[in-house]
């Protein structure tokens, strides 16, 4: 999640609101008396006065960091923080199995519009199947994320729909999901409402098994998966988080930078304990502190004081070793799994080099997530 520095270029931007167009039922009605925000006119700020975040985003971000005592020169570190080497062209679409489809769609509600791509496996013949919502990381898109995670290939084997919502640059300059904005941590508002709406649109358009709807993501997408799962527990049966952060770990850019760098000392007691979760994190991740993975799991287990952990270790041939901790209730019901990949950085474990932010030397996170989801629902 290299979004931290890039946010200075998008702070204060408003979501593009397209003209009204037909869509499926809106499960997230706008709050009463909601009114569209109006951009402030550009003005220069007086000496000693905080810069206007809408008109001077870079200066505002630097000023906030200085006030918090965080010594970080955003401008000097911008290129390194963004990791320009990762901004490559989207990979060519991989050949699909005969009968399979990877189609485009869109969804809009009061919070905005998002495009998505839906994978329909070749085994689909009108019968009910599970649905997985996959949220990409910063600078990525549906094709890149699908190629890197190889989730479509696993879904083809297991018989599962996979939908990839796309975050556009006009919503976030680095195409990051805005997990750190307060408005995007509320049910019925912001990006969570759009993502939940996309899932509902697929459910209404295809025979989805509504007891087997899941959400997962990487980095900023992983943080947003936690948020969406927490806000819509009746819609999502389980959550998958790779290199993400716990719910409400930040409320703005400065607190996001702090959470990413240091982790959170204590996760907010949010969500509910009925939703199983699987977490992957590399212990050499220098972009999102691995402590965040621990707090994601701790947050979900807060409602299960009597959870019983069991630990087992393993290793990928010619790859990384890992520690898998499984948490269950007293009667053996699975609550969650926490995979720590030793030596891995900020990358999808077991992924393909055909996509960005992947590391083939780790255990196959895509396969393990779908296996876990099938086990718990």
Sign of CA dihedral 137, 151, 121, 232: negative
pLDDT tens per residue across all 377 residues of the chain? 654 444 433 443 333 333 333 344 445 544 444 444 333 333 334 444 555 544 445 555 666 556 555 555 554 443 333 343 333 444 556 789 999 999 999 999 999 999 999 999 999 999 999 999 999 999 999 999 999 999 999 999 999 999 999 999 999 999 999 999 999 999 999 999 999 999 999 999 999 999 999 999 999 999 999 999 999 999 999 999 999 999 999 999 899 999 999 998 766 666 556 799 999 999 999 999 999 999 999 998 887 777 889 999 999 999 999 999 999 998 889 999 999 999 999 999 999 999 999 999 999 999 999 999 999 98
Contact (CB, 8 A) for 199 and 215: yes
pLDDT at 75: 44
Distance between CA atoms of residues 23 and 3, nearest Å: 31
In this structure, what token pair is assigned to residue 281?
């994190």
Task: Give the start-to-end residue ranges of the domains of the chain.
Answer: 102-376
Whole-model pTM over 0.85: no
Distance between CA atoms of residues 66 and 53, nearest Å: 15
User: Strand order of the sheet with strand 238-242?
Assistant: 101-109, 112-120, 161-165, 129-135, 208-218, 238-242, 277-282, 334-341, 321-328, 308-315
Sign of CA dihedral 215, 26, 184, 143: positive
- Counted residue by residue, the chain has a size of 377
Q: In 100-153, which ranges are E strands?
A: 101-109, 112-120, 129-135
CATH topology of domain 102-376: Rossmann fold (3.40.50)
How many other CB atoms sit within 10 Å of the CB of residue 95? 7
Distance between CA atoms of residues 152 and 339, nearest Å: 22
Closest to 339 in 3D by CA, of 350, 352, 353, 331: 350
pLDDT at 306: 79
Closest to 87 in 3D by CA, of 78, 95, 96: 78
pLDDT at 73: 53
In this structure, what token pair is assigned to residue 16?
């593009």
Contact (CB, 8 A) for 296 and 241: yes
pLDDT at 54: 44
């Amino acid at each position: 999640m290299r979004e931290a520095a890039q946010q200075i270029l998008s702070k204060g931007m408003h979501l593009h609101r397209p003209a009204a167009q037909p869509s499926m039922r809106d499960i997230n009605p706008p709050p009463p008396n909601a009114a569209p925000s109006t951009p402030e006119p550009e003005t220069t700020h007086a000496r000693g006065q905080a810069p206007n975040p809408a008109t001077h985003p870079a200066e505002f971000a630097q000023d906030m960091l200085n006030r918090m005592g965080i010594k970080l020169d955003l401008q000097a570190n911008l290129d390194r923080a963004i990791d320009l080497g990762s901004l490559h062209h989207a990979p060519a679409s991989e050949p699909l199995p005969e009968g399979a489809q990877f189609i485009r769609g869109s969804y809009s509600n009061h919070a905005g519009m998002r495009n998505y791509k839906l994978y329909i496996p070749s085994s689909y013949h009108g019968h009910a199947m599970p649905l997985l919502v996959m949220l990409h990381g910063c600078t990525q898109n549906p094709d890149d994320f699908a190629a890197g995670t190889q989730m479509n290939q696993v879904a083809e084997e297991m018989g599962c729909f996979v939908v990839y919502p796309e975050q556009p640059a006009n919503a976030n300059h680095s195409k990051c999901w805005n997990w750190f904005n307060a408005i995007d941590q509320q049910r019925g508002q912001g990006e969570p409402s759009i993502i939940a709406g996309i899932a509902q649109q697929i459910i209404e358009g295809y025979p989805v098994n509504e007891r087997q709807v899941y959400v997962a993501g990487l980095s900023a997408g992983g943080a947003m998966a936690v948020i969406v799962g927490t806000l819509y527990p009746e819609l999502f049966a389980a959550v998958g988080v790779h290199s993400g952060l716990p719910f409400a770990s930040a409320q703005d850019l400065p607190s996001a930078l702090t959470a990413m760098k240091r982790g959170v000392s204590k996760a907010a007691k949010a969500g509910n304990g009925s939703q199983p979760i699987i977490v992957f994190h590399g212990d050499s991740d220098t972009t999102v502190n691995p402590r965040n993975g621990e707090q994601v799991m701790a947050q979900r287990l807060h409602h299960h004081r009597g959870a019983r952990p069991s630990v087992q270790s393993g290793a990928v041939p010619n790859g990384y070793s890992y520690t898998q901790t499984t948490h269950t209730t007293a009667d053996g019901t699975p609550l969650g799994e926490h995979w720590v990949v030793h030596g891995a950085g900020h990358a999808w474990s077991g992924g393909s080099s055909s996509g960005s932010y992947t590391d083939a030397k780790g255990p196959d996170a895509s396969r393990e997530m779908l296996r876990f989801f099938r086990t718990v629902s």
